[in-house]
A and B are shown apart, each in its own frame.
Chain A
């Protein structure tokens, strides 16, 4: 069964360092997402990506964050200068798409997450 794969499963980084979280979405999917969950809090939307550009981003997704699909298979989240408060579980997801003008549910498939710890 196709699945979304995230690497690494756990990343420890020093405050101020750059970190790149990697995701391999399901191959025929067109929409890609990053979410995060700070320990004990809600899973929060960060960004969605379609057709090689950001389609929507939350207010959390500031200039420290960027996303890229560098080679047609990987989807990365870069945090330029990590802060302690960036420590969280980061989930990548992908979906086939959505019908324009509707809210028809299309299933999003999530990866197992990368736990980022900033020290």
Chain B
């Protein structure tokens, strides 16, 4: 079946620290992979995506590379800011109707 596993939170970092949030998946077929972010009081926003193996999605300094051999899509950022504090969701999608499978979310707290 399809599922996503991401690291438990919360993750607490100081400003300018390096961020990694691990995400692994299992999927039938050939999924597209996504990272969504939820800022306090807001909805889920697409952060980045990758549609095939070795693709790198990037946005706002965040990056993730679709690794088929390790079934992973880890999120990284070289230097986090306080404004990056949010909950981050890894997700996959297969098929035709945009049915997403989400991870449980990882809360990131960035301290000044």
Give me the interface of A with B, judged by CB distance under 8 Å.
4, 6, 31, 33, 35, 40-45, 48, 50, 55-56, 91, 93, 95, 98-113
Q: Which residue of A lies closest to B3 (CB)?
A: A42
Which residues of the partner chain B approach A44 to less than 8 Å between Cβ atoms?
102
Which residues of the partner chain A approach B91 to less than 8 Å between Cβ atoms?
43
In the assembled complex, the Cα of A43 lies from the Cα of B43 at a distance in Å of 12
Which residues of the partner chain B approach A112 to less than 8 Å between Cβ atoms?
41-43
The reply to whether A108 and B98 contact each other, CB–CB distance below 8 Å, is: yes
Which residues of the partner chain B approach A6 to less than 8 Å between Cβ atoms?
43
Question: Shortest beta-carbon distance, A95 to chain B, in Å?
Answer: 5
Which residues of the partner chain B approach A109 to less than 8 Å between Cβ atoms?
46
How many of chain B's residues have a CB under 8 angstroms from any CB in A?
30
From B32, B101, B104, contact of A41 by CB (8 A):
B104
The reply to whether B44 and A110 contact each other, CB–CB distance below 8 Å, is: yes
Pair count A-B, CB < 8 A: 77
Which residues of the partner chain B approach A104 to less than 8 Å between Cβ atoms?
32, 51
In the assembled complex, the Cα of A106 lies from the Cα of B96 at a distance in Å of 10
In the assembled complex, the Cα of A74 lies from the Cα of B103 at a distance in Å of 28
The reply to whether A56 and B99 contact each other, CB–CB distance below 8 Å, is: yes
Flag whether B93 is at the interface (Cβ < 8 A): yes
Which residues of the partner chain A approach B43 to less than 8 Å between Cβ atoms?
4, 6, 91, 110-113
Most buried by B among A44, A55, A112: A112
Flag whether B73 is at the interface (Cβ < 8 A): no
In the assembled complex, the Cα of A105 lies from the Cα of B94 at a distance in Å of 9
- Would you give 18 A-B contacts (Cβ < 8 Å), ordered by A? A31-B98, A40-B104, A42-B4, A42-B104, A56-B97, A91-B44, A93-B44, A93-B98, A98-B95, A98-B96, A101-B96, A103-B29, A104-B51, A105-B34, A107-B49, A110-B44, A112-B41, A112-B43
The reply to whether A105 and B42 contact each other, CB–CB distance below 8 Å, is: no
Given A110-B44, A112-B41, A112-B42: A103 and B101 interface contact (C-beta under 8 Å): no
The reply to whether B89 and A43 contact each other, CB–CB distance below 8 Å, is: yes
Q: Which residue of B lies closest to A102 (CB)?
A: B96
The reply to whether B45 and A110 contact each other, CB–CB distance below 8 Å, is: yes
